[in-house]
Amino acid sequence: MTKIIKEMLPPDVRVARDAQDLLIECCVEFINLVSSESNEVCNKEDKRTIAPEHVLKALQVND
């Protein structure tokens, strides 16, 4: 994640360690939320494996 942050910002911009940690924490929470919603969509369709369509539907639910 730190590498992505550095790649997305101009070379003269620095990000505080606390800000990086917070961003990583937010990303983890987002992934957990999408995973949980995807699993619910998958279960409603009586499937056992989460497919890309389930993830897309989960993202639409949270839109």
pTM, whole model, 2 decimals? 0.78
Contacts of 40 (CB under 8 A, 6+ apart): 58
Range of the domain at 32: 2-61
The DSSP secondary-structure symbol of 9 reads S
Task: Answer whether 61's CB lies under 8 Å from 37's CB.
Answer: yes
Domain count for the chain? 1
CA dist list (Å): 16 to 4, 37, 63? 14, 32, 30
Q: What is the CATH number of the domain that holds 30?
A: 1.10.20.10
pLDDT tens sequence across 4-60: 988 999 999 999 999 999 999 999 999 999 999 999 999 999 999 999 999 999 999
Q: How confident is the model at residue 1 (pLDDT cuts 50, 70, 90)?
A: confident
The reported pLDDT for the residue numbered 7 is 93
